[in-house]
Each structure stands twice: as structure tokens, then as C-alpha cells.
Amino acid sequence: MSEAILEPELPIIDPHHHLWDLRPVMGAFPEPHHHFVASVARSPYYTFNELHADMTSGQNVIGTVYMECGAFYRAGADEALKVVGEVEYVNGVAAQGASGLYGAMRPCAAIIGHADLTRGSAAGAVLDALASAAPDRFRGIRHAAAWDADPDVLGPPFHAPAGLYLDSKFREGFAELGKRGLTFDAWLLEPQLGDFLSLAKAFPDQPIVLDHCGTPLGMGSYHGKLHERFDTWRASIKAIAECPNVSVKLGGLAMSFAGMPDHGPEAGLSSEVLAAMWRPYIETCIEAFGPDRAMFESNYPVDKWGASYPVLWNAFKRLTLGASADEKRALYAGTAARFYGLEYLLG
């Protein structure tokens, strides 16, 4: 679907997208019946060219934050250090964008990698190696905890154990972030938000961002239950927002997991339809956290399931039509710039 760009001059820092080349591994899923796997099969690679095309498709995207996704790991490296390859690769993409050959936009201006925090204090050495691989851009890590007893909810690519954020060894590793002034991105599912709240309270000085509005679910055994679980989700969001060290990413709702829409990829829905679908979740998060602790995200190419890149941002802009100029500056760029150390992009 093609739409006129709303508020085309509004600066955007996209604080959450991936890069990958999954063509070599797609054979591991010969029957992509799961919605997530099926959507990835439609876009098995998303590298500089695809990112650049989206960043320049009409919205005023001035910079982005790369989010780890298990891509481009080092072959033959020690198991704990394979993750360094991802940061090395993305730092090269960032350097390509920073060359100026592609305009003023700055892709991957900040990089979020991965380290296995269940290694406990030994994870500190991995964090140091990640920082050495991209000293000007590495900002922190994500260690996802998404898990559900129903295997149809997440599908085969996801293997986090139950209760990861409650695990003592994980928390020992988590403490290494604070020693280095690093950020933490958290991804888990709505029924797990109590685990996240416990972690946030246990480390009140650690900057944490909750990805994807806490991932409300519309898949598997949760299909058709978004409405009945909304109050539970909202109560969790309000409780988490009471932790001043936590921010929230506004997006991820176009993922197949959430079922908003429940068909894809690129369902062809207008930004008006998407905005109406997402409004209760986005408005709840902004009300709870405030614009200074909330940031819109594309979660691309995963959210390509529900919308093209320009339509996705149009939908967000429809949800903030009544916001002030200062609120919009925070939601679309300012909060992300402050959280990830990208204030220089704003001049």
C-alpha cells in the first residue's frame, strides 16, 4: 500500500531494527507453517541495501539503532565469543552509512549486541569484547527471555528457558552491565511481565527498555484473547512504569505474535486501520511512561508482517496527532537519542 507521508519533516531515530541473511538457515524450517517463520521466509535477507531503501522511503529517518538478532556470528570462534561477529558486521554497515555517500542518514549509529548472561560474571569478558569490536557505537545488549508453555506461540526459532530473568546466574551476569554503563533491552511476552518487573526492581539503577509494548499475544492458545487479556497487560504496564529506570518501545504490534493484524506479510492495511488497532496499547504505554520514557520503533523487518515501513510510521503519527511538538520530538527521536547516546544526531 502506498500512502502520502504524514509530517514528512519530523525527525525519526528508529531505535529497533535488525539486519540478517537467513538464506543459509531457512532449510532448517522446511514447513514454514508458523506465521513468524513464514514471514521471515518471505524476507530471508535484510542488509544495508534493504535498510537504506526503507530509511529513504519518505519518512525523515535520521538514524537507527541496530538490535541483535543472532545474525553474522563468528564461525569457528569460542562459543561465548561468536556473538562478537554480529557487532563487527553491523559496525561495518554503520561505517558504510557514515561515509556520507548515501546522504546524511546514519544507519546503526548505535549497536545493541548479545551476550549470554547465564554465564554469570564471566559474561563481563564478552561484554568487553563486544565493546572493543565497536567502541564508538556499542551501547549494550539484549538477552531475550520470550517463552511460553504453548510451542505454537513462538515457533521453532526461539529457545529461551522459562523464568530466565529470575535466574540467579543470569542476574549475576546482568550485574556486569551496570559496571560498564551499558543498556539492556528486554524482550519477553505479556504473561511473563511479572518476571520483568522483578528484574527491574532488583536493579533500580540499570537503564532498561521494554521492547514491543511488552508483546501482547494473539497467537496459538492466545488467539482471539487480546481483548480479555488487555486489563492484565495494562496493569502490568502501569506497574512497570513505576520503575524510573525503565523505558518502553512503542511498536512490535505488527509482529505475527500479537496478531494485529492476524494475516500477512504486508497485509495491505491502511495506516488508519493499523492506528485504530494499536491505539489502546500505544496510548496506555505513553500515558504510563510519559513521552520522555517512550520511543516509537519499527522492529523491521519483523513488523513487515503487518505494514510497509512508511505506512508503519504513518500509523504511529496518526496516534500522536494531538501531541505537542515537544512530545513528538521525544517520542520519535529524543527519548531514543538520550537512552542510546545519540544526542549528536539531533544537532
Tens of pLDDT, residues 106-156: 999 999 999 999 999 999 999 999 999 999 999 999 999 999 999 888 877
Choice between 31 and 241, residue whose per-residue pLDDT is larger: 241
**pLDDT at site 32:** 46
Question: Would you say residue 181 has pLDDT above 90?
Answer: yes
Residue 137 DSSP label = T
Q: What mean pLDDT, rounded, does the chain reach? A: 93
pLDDT > 70 fraction of the chain, expressed in percent and rounded? 93
Residue 101 CB neighbours (<10 A) = 7
Task: Give the separation between CA 203 and CA 156, rounded to whole angstroms.
Answer: 31
Question: Which triple of cell numbers denotes residue 257?
Answer: 505474535
Asked if residue 55 lies in contact with residue 103, where contact means CB atoms within 8 angstroms, the answer is no
Closest residue by Cα to residue 174 from 183, 236, 148 = 183
**pLDDT at site 330:** 98
Alpha helices in 56-159 (DSSP H): 84-98, 123-133, 151-154
**pLDDT at site 259:** 85
Question: Would you say residue 278 has pLDDT above 90?
Answer: yes
Write out the E strands in the chain: 12-17, 20-21, 45-46, 61-67, 106-113, 138-142, 183-186, 208-210, 246-250, 294-296
Q: Which residues pair with 17 in a beta bridge?
A: 66, 300
Q: Tell me the one-letter amino acid at 146.
A: A
191 cis-preceded (ω within 30 degrees of 0): no
Question: Would you say residue 40 has pLDDT above 80?
Answer: no
Dihedral sign of CA atoms 155, 18, 260, 229 in order: positive
Residue 179 CB neighbours (<10 A) = 10
**Predicted TM-score (pTM) of this structure:** 0.95
**pLDDT at site 42:** 65
**pLDDT at site 249:** 98
**pLDDT at site 305:** 87
Query: Which whole number is the average pLDDT over 53-70?
Result: 97
DSSP, collapsed to helix, strand or coil, labels residue 208 as strand
**pLDDT at site 286:** 98
pLDDT tens sequence across 65-119: 999 999 999 999 999 999 999 999 999 999 999 999 999 999 999 999 999 999 9
